[in-house]
Amino acid sequence: MTNDLLSHVGEIGVIRLIQRFFPDHTPYVKKGIGDDCAVLETGGEDLLLVTTDMMIEGIHYTTKTTSYEDVGWKALAVNLSDIAAMGGTPHTAFLSMGLRSSTPVSVLESFMRGFQEMACEAGVFLAGGDTVEVTSDSVISVTLLGRCSPEGLVFRSGAQVGDDIWVSGFLGNAAGGLEILLTNEHQEKRGRQILVSSHQRPSPRLKLGKALGESGLVHAMIDLSDGVAKDLRHICDESGVGAVLNRGSIPISEPLQTLAQDLSHDPFDWALSGGEDYELLFVSPPEYRKEIEEITINVMGRTATRIGLVVREQGLWLQTGGDRTQFPYGGYAHF
């Protein structure tokens, strides 16, 4: 193992290595590494949720496809989405940045404007952070705190055999938007702006996450940051179950369909492995279908989509008509 590089063990290997150094629990930590947020007891009625995301210039964002304002918005949005996936309500953010000293002040102002806009929309206050100098790629690290009642909390680990798998909105729009930006593919064409917005200004599903948590009808939930192919696997791993996705049910937007035709690309590739949609994926017993539809219509104005089923046999499958095939590993992974 000693001569191995991080590229050999991969992102999951790196996380497991880190986790190995802290095998025990403490009275404060109800849930540590392995969910969208850590969950802490701090003595109050509500639990404390904590999530943190690091974004690197050139890896997570490039100003070729995203304005500084959008980078600011997104830096907070991706963390808000993690709070949403626990059923929580965000309240306090910490923003650390490594910036080059040659960065124009106007760039920092643009970034902060986008960050502030997202914060206002979500009711989040910035209470601290750190600003340091870098000599190469800039780096942004946001830590976000939220709260949740013990009853409203939803983990990744509660999925049960027979549960429906739901998704809150269209999949693949963000990946399609990125494709448009990278290829300069007819940005003016009808519907394309929706895809571009999905990539540049994702809307975390805070209200829906909270409503689903409070309903008590949801067994497990995660936000779709790396693509269904990877994120659903987390629910399966943590719950000790498997999942079958019904290809025909995957919600693909009309603009994405059109883009896929224009570029001769399989839209399911974007939908399943593209990532960055920041929709919620959740599982719930079939007897609550009507209630789930009602909740999602109430909150979002339209119903969530049932895309599959939790099964006993561990693994992921894609059902296409009568055909069931093993689902390839996919989604974004570091190292």
- Nearest residue (CB) to a second copy, 108 versus 252: 108
| Sheet containing 315-320, strands listed edge to edge, beginning at the edge strand earlier in sequence | 220-223, 280-284, 164-167, 305-311, 242-246, 315-320, 323-326
- Nearest residue (CB) to a second copy, 43 versus 322: 43
Give min distance, CB of 87 to a second copy, in A: 17
Give min distance, CB of 75 to a second copy, in A: 12
Interatomic CA distance for residues 311 and 314, integer angstroms: 7
Q: Which helix (H) or strand (E) holds 1?
A: none
Q: Are the C-beta atoms of residues 72 and 118 closer than 8 Å to each other?
A: yes
Interatomic CA distance for residues 227 and 245, integer angstroms: 13
- Nearest residue (CB) to a second copy, 9 versus 300: 9
* Residue 197 token pair: 């917005």
Give min distance, CB of 201 to a second copy, in A: 18
Give min distance, CB of 192 to a second copy, in A: 29
End-to-end CA distance of the chain: 16
Phi, psi for residue 319 in degrees, rounded to 5: -95, 120
Q: Would you give the DSSP letter of residue 292?
A: H
* Residue 132 token pair: 């340091």
- Nearest residue (CB) to a second copy, 138 versus 258: 138
Q: Would you give the DSSP letter of residue 287?
A: G
Give min distance, CB of 228 to a second copy, in A: 21
- Nearest residue (CB) to a second copy, 57 versus 277: 57
